[in-house]
Structure 1
Amino acid sequence: MKSKIILIGILGMFLMSCGDDFLTIPSETALTDDIFYETQADIEAAVNAVYAPLRALYTGSAATSNGANAAYIMGETHSDNARYIVNPLFRATENQEQVADFIQQASNSVSTFKYQQNYQVIAAANKAIATVDEAEIESENTRSNLKGQALCLRAFSYFDLVQYFGSVPLHLEPVTTFEGTALPLATTEELFSQIIADLTQAIDLLPSKSNQADLGRVTKGSAQMILANVYMVQKNYAAAETVLKEIVASGEYALMADYAAVFDPANKNNSESVFEIQYRQGTDGYSSTFFYGMVPRPMDQSTVATLTSVGDPLPIADATMCTPSPDLIAAYEDGDLRKDATIDYAPDLYGKVFPFCKKYLHPHQYLNNTDDNWPVYRYAEVLLFLAEAINEQGKPVSEALSYINTPVGNGSVSIRERAGLEPIIAGSQEELRDAIAQERRVELAFEAKRWLDLARTGKAVEVMSAYGARVKADPAAYYFPTGYNPPASAFSQIDLVWPLPAAEAMYSPYF
């Protein structure tokens, strides 16, 4: 026994004498930050990791094919543009239904997913930003591009968070300790200040669209558009106008002549694309599922085959979380070509016909595995924001209308011409304000814009209260089967921001 004690003591002295190097041999399977972020390839991989959570955020969690946590539920179903379809045989949709019914709880899985995915973007961006300046990179232009991408995407995620949650923690450095995961809530003023600072820096660092080697990465125009959106939310219309006109003057963008073609996977990252989330069908995990979250469910095998052209179609079950509302369908003017490009109809398993969004319906090879990208910002929105910014400053109505009614820059068509409609006629600032809001609604339907538009323009409470009253008065018109009604608490309170997630509160004393 005594000899064992001596042996242990000698071994302990030996280990102590070896110093930290012996005790901190890096794992061969999990590289530490100080080893990983040293070369250009390391930083490129780090920046690629910043994009990855956005793919999950916009298509929904990997475990679901009906987009149960997709960003469009909070942007569209949480508005008067879309509703869910109740499936009496599948009731595991309470969280998604609460989003649509404005029952906003801290435990909601959809809002929690949005919060967590955005912070994954931010965490990855912080690591890249903290190390890019010291890494060995072949050229300063490459270094600037990589840093600009990380700054732009960090700002984009904080902008998403502040719009949906208000005050949130402001992490600007990589978290290296457990204590560092919990920071006080930053004010919205502090958040906006950092967002603007990041975007301003990114604009100076990023290349133009035509000079960005890899399609799909954020560019100078992407950062400018996010910044312009920030200014629109802040009602700093003069600043927004300046940035938006810079995008137009760049000559990098133009409307496509065919509205439906904008969303065709054959035209990914087209002349109208300012920023879109990249997906790729196949078995490598990069596919999208937007169509499956919007098509009537459950659906039989033959209808699936007819719509999708998949080689081995199967019935699809569950429930639909994002169906065009009667209100959105009625919002289109007669003859608006965007309606046919956006909305179609199909039967569910029981033969009942429902509308669905067809923007993201294109032939693909595998079930629940599509090739469509998500359009975050399009040039059409640049022009609509510009018209709005000009109008809100009280400038001539004709000046604002020129960005909607006539071709701009390199484009051969205007927004209205492309839609097959006559020019908008407005005699006052208020008339034009309403016309622009209407135009944004139908032009950007099912692009996760409607709720944010209602919130930033101060219309959310008025519009959603009236909408909720209509849903409750006629549930059948809003896709409730016989015997089903919205909850009594639905639409009883229209909150502009979501409570911070309960799942995060256990890690922070500030929630």
Structure 2
Amino acid sequence: MKKYIYLLAANLLLLGTASCTEELTQVPLSQGTEENFYATPGDFNQARNAVYSVAFHGTGTYGYANRVLNLSETRSDNLLALTTASRDWEGINSFYTSISSNTYVKEAYLSNYNAIYKANQLLEKIALKGNDIFTNPVDKASMVAEARFLRAFCYFDLIRWFGKVPLIDRTMTAQETSKIGRSPVVDIYKLIIADLEAAIPDLSPSYDAANFGRVTKYGAKGLLGLVYMTRSSPTYGIDGAMLGLNEWDKAYQQLNDIKTSGLYAFGTDYAAIFKTEGIANKENILTIPYTQSVASSIGGNFMVELGYEPYFASVNLSAQGALEARPISTGFLNMFAANDNRKTFGIATSYTVATGTYKGSYTLPVFKKYIDPTRYGTGGREDWGVDFMVMRYTDVLMMMAECTLHGGGGSQADVDAIVNQVRTRAGVPATAANITLPQLFDERRKEFFSEGTRWFDLIRSGNAVTIMNAWRIAEDTGGKIRTIDNNMLLYPIPLQEILAVPGLYTQNLGYD
């Protein structure tokens, strides 16, 4: 599956809520209508691909990868993203209470609901016409499973950012949705878990290269495991995705199924994990693929989010639009041993531009993990052929270790072995035995930086507010970042949704 975006019909592209008037920017297939479109297996395949496209690649400039780098990585203690200019990411990093109209916040809400709308529509069309269209019942079951996975994926993304959101499990008119308020998170979890449990048996264990990017049985199991882990996290006293349940054993079971499948492997070379594409990369559990192009812009642009124009110029890539850096926090840099190859590969601490506008030497540390000039196309800054790993095998192993430390299965020896395996690959000494949860999260922080996991790790740790306030005091000498409280663990509902039907939604606490 590559980054091709499909149009079913103009009237199918609207979210279907009273507040949404934005149309998706997509490539037309034909002048067909909804009534005559779903007539062949190929039509249904294109409809399925459209759900993938919106769920993973978004509805405009940003996709899921950009989203987690902006709303998770930038929100976390890995970056000190302050600026003298007015940038949307500054309000994210500084915990402003006035970000309900923030571009990144709106995108997370809009893209997920557009994908949910498309998934609901596809499921309804399969139920209505599937028996007549699909000669092989396995193909029909697989398509239903993929649609249900994608719907679950989007709802899980929504509740992690916003907490309570409207629960819409069928296509609705704008008038119908204008009467649906925010549903309790427990109700949304029921749909998420039901969708994933129904999808897993009918998803393929693996795909060939031509179908790389479609979700597998084990990608769905990885998501379900993370769902159980998130439900088990401390609540912080807010209406978020964290329910304080003790479901670590359920999570461990799902993750262990991935391990025992024998389809994945712990990469022995850290750098190779991010340079090996497609099915050849045995770390890939759930991946969003992008295509490098020589003719048009169909690649990705997420690596630009945390980049810096002088660094791009230093590797002969100019005009990427990353004019201001989001510098790496000093405390994070100091965590690494001098010879840790994760830092060497993924962080630029000094670089030189030989000629041009940015000529000079630089020591501003920036992330470069996903920046590979050999996979840059000719379509501009949105044309990188670099895949984004939503979940990789090392993550699965370390999440299993987390479950073990919560009593969910496995042994302390398993935890120690996993962490030492990760550290040995990084070229640093193995850690002493009896790894604790704080030590595990520290190792995760060094392993997964600039992959969009840090904010969620902080929340699962139970110490997000304490850690972030300590970071603020240590790093923000200018006093620009506000004191963080529990309410800041959620984002605000976008203002356009609050205003669409006055009184239907109430804003999350702590926001203007």
Please report the TM-score for the alignment, with normalisation by the length of structure 1.
0.80
- 1:439-490 per-residue CA deviation (whole Å, 9 max, x = no partner) reads 11111111110001111221110011111112332x4xxxxxxxxx626x46
The answer as to 2:196 corresponding to 1:209 is no
Q: Please tell me whether the aligned partners of residues 424 and 435 of structure 1 are also in contact (alpha carbons under 8 angstroms).
A: no
Distance 1:494 1:77, change over 3 A: farther
In the TM superposition, what are the counterparts of 1:137-156 in structure 2 within 5 Å? 137-156=134-153
User: What are the residue-to-residue correspondences of 1:224-239 with 2, within 5 Å?
Assistant: 224-235=221-232, 236-239=247-250
Counterpart of 1:101, as a letter, is S
Please say if residues 277 and 387 of structure 2, whose CA atoms lie closer than 8 Å, have aligned partners that are also in contact. Answer: no
Is 1:259 matched up with 2:263? no
In the TM superposition, 1:303-452 aligns within 5 A as 304-308=312-316, 313-314=318-319, 316=321, 318-320=323-325, 322-345=326-349, 346=351, 349=358, 351=360, 352-363=362-373, 364-366=376-378, 367-368=380-381, 369-393=383-407, 396-405=411-420, 414-427=421-434, 431-452=435-456
Q: Which amino acid aligns with 1:252?
A: L
* Alpha-carbon separation, structure 2, partners of 1:370 and 1:255: 26
Query: 2:70·2:305 contact (CA, 8 Å) conserved in 1?
Result: no
Which of 65, 72, 75 pairs up with 1:75?
A: 72
What is the letter of the counterpart of residue 362 of structure 1? D
Is 1:291 matched with 2:303?
yes
Partner of 2:34: 33
Which one has the largest radius of gyration? Answer: 1
Q: Is the 8 A contact 1:296 1:354 kept in 2?
A: no
Contact 2:156–2:227 under 8 Å retained in 1: yes
State the match for 1:119 in structure 2: 113
Is the CA contact 1:79–1:450 (under 8 Å) kept in the aligned structure 2? Answer: yes
CA contact (8 A) 2:209 2:279 kept: no
CA change 1:172–1:318 in 2 (3 A) is same
Q: Contact 2:405–2:412 at 8 Å: present in 1 too?
A: yes
Measured in 1, the distance between the counterparts of 2:205 and 2:113 equals 27
What displacement does 1:31 show? 3.1
Any conservation in 1 of the 2:307–2:322 contact (CA below 8 Å)?
no
Query: Could you tell me which residue of structure 1 aligns to residue 508 of structure 2?
Result: none
Aligned equivalent of 2:260:
249
Amino acid at match of 1:358: K
Distance 1:404 1:326 in 2: 24
1:118-147, Cα deviation, whole Å (9 max, x unpaired): 112211111111122332023122112211
Moved more, 151-160 or 208-217: 208-217
Distance in 2 of aligned mates of 1:380 and 1:92: 37
Distance 2:403 2:181 in 1: 34
CA distance in 2, matches of 1:505, 1:165: 13
Q: Which moved more, 1:172-181 or 1:352-361?
A: 172-181
What is the DSSP-based 3-state SS (H/G/I as helix, E as strand, rest coil) of the residue aligned with 1:442? helix
Q: Do 1:291 and 1:361's aligned partners in 2 also have CA atoms closer than 8 Å?
A: yes
Contact in 1 for aligned 2:68/2:453 (Cα 8 Å)? no
Question: How large is the Cα RMSD of the aligned pairs?
Answer: 2.7
Q: Distance in 1 between matches of 2:76 and 2:322?
A: 25
Q: Check the 8 A contact 2:329/2:475 in 1, yes or no.
A: no
Q: How big is the shift at 1:81? A: 0.8
**What letter corresponds to residue 382 of structure 1 in structure 2?**
V
The verdict on how the C-alpha distance between 1:304 and 1:436 changes in structure 2, with shifts beyond 3 A counting, is: closer
8 Å CA contact 1:295–1:323 kept in 2: the answer is no
Q: In structure 1, the residue corresponding to 2:141 is in which secondary structure?
A: helix
- What SS does the aligned partner of 1:377 have? strand
Task: Give the aligned residue type for 1:289.
Answer: N
- Distance in 2, matches of 1:98 and 1:275, equals 30
Change (3 A) 1:107 1:248: same
- CA displacement at 1:166 relative to structure 2: 0.3
Give the aligned partner of residue 500 of structure 2.
507
- For residues 315 and 398 of structure 1, the distance between their equivalents in structure 2, rounded to whole angstroms, comes to 46
In structure 2, what residue type is equivalent to 1:153? L
Q: In structure 2, do the counterparts of structure 1 residues 163 and 462 end up closer, same or farther at CA, with 3 Å as the change threshold?
A: same
Secondary structure of the 1:376 match is strand
On the 8 A contact 2:225/2:255 being kept in 1, the answer is yes
Q: Deviations over 1:193-244 (max 9, x none)?
A: 1111111111011010257860111110110000000111122101011111
1:413-440 CA-to-partner distances (Å, cap 9, x unmatched) read x32321123333233xxx5211211111
Secondary structure class of the residue paired with 1:183: coil
The answer (yes or no) to whether the contact 1:71–1:448 under 8 Å persists in 2 is yes
Secondary structure of the equivalent of 1:192?
helix
Distance 1:288 1:170, change over 3 A: same
Alpha-carbon spacing, 1:499–1:294, altered in 2? closer, same or farther (3 Å): closer
Output the amino acid matched with 2:426.
A
1:465 aligns with 2:458: no
Contact 1:145 1:206 in 2 (8 A): yes
- 1:327 deviation in Å? 2.1
Tell me the CA shift for residue 510 of structure 1: 2.0
SS at match of 2:327: strand
Task: Give 5+ residue unaligned stretches, structure 1.
Answer: 1-27, 406-413, 476-484
What is the SS of the residue equivalent to 1:209?
coil
Residues 314 and 107 from structure 1, CA distance in 2 versus in 1: closer, same or farther, beyond 3 angstroms? closer
Residues 242 and 265 (structure 1), Cα distance of their counterparts in 2 relative to 1, 3 Å cut: closer
Residues in 2 aligned to 1:112 and 1:314: alpha-carbon distance in whole angstroms: 26
Show CA shifts across 1:378-433 (max 9, x none). 0001100111111111864213323333xxxxxxxx32321123333233xxx521
Structure 2 unaligned runs (5+)? 1-28, 233-246, 506-512
Distance 1:389 1:304, change over 3 A: closer
**Partner SS, residue 422 of structure 1:** coil
Contact map agreement 1:49 1:124 (CA 8 A) in 2: yes
Identity of aligned residues (%): 28
Partner in structure 1 of residue 187 of structure 2: 190
1:97 is aligned to 2:98: no
TM-score under structure 2 normalisation?
Answer: 0.80
